[in-house]
Amino acid sequence: MLVRRIARPLLAAPFVYGGISTLRKPQDRVPGARPVVEKIAETADKQLPVEVPKDVEQWVKVDAAVKVAAGSLFALNKFPRLTALVLSASIVPTTLAGHRFWEHDDPTERFGQISNFLKNSGLLGGLLLAAVDTEGKPSVGYRTRRAAKKAAAATEKNVEKAQKRAAKAQKQAQKRLKKASR
């Protein structure tokens, strides 16, 4: 559909541009990302058997690379549902790291942060819609349920046929037995 061909690149553009910008100069994003990375690393270290890297700049670069790769694939309509999910997962920590409006006292700065926070929330909403967009085709869940019902019906039909054949064979065997006993 034409709308999808236009909408996907438009939705992907901020991710690709922002990712490239961050890859060129990741140190600008490190201070904002530090609290989020530290919180994630701390939580992960408690719950995972392996130690999570704590290098904030490395996390910023990885996130930027993910945004560029997934955004490009999404814009090109390659794996659109998967890439929309990846971008959705990526935008949440980015928003929490970069637009912490609750920490600002200056009304102008706070307004700017709230505005960007809400913009990212809107992008997240668009990505979530894209992630569930089946483009008019039935979903995998629907197709799976339908295939399971068809398989169950075919199995029941085959069982009935087999039971009829077995009953017929049993009757024939009884007739042969009667003839043989006379």
> Can you give the residue ranges of every domain in the chain?
2-132, 142-182
Residue predicted with more confidence, 103 or 71: 71
Confidence category of residue 166, pLDDT binned at 50, 70, 90: very high
Residue 138 phi/psi, 5-degree rounding, is -60, 150
Give the rounded percent of residues in the chain with a pLDDT score beyond 90.
70
Residue pair 84/74 in contact by the 8 Å Cβ criterion: yes
Q: Summarize the confidence of residues 82-96 as an average pLDDT.
A: 94
Helix, strand, coil % in the chain, rounded to nearest 5: 85, 0, 15
pTM of structure: 0.70
Confidence category of residue 77, pLDDT binned at 50, 70, 90: very high
pLDDT in tens, 103-144: 889 999 999 999 999 999 999 999 999 999 888 778 778 889
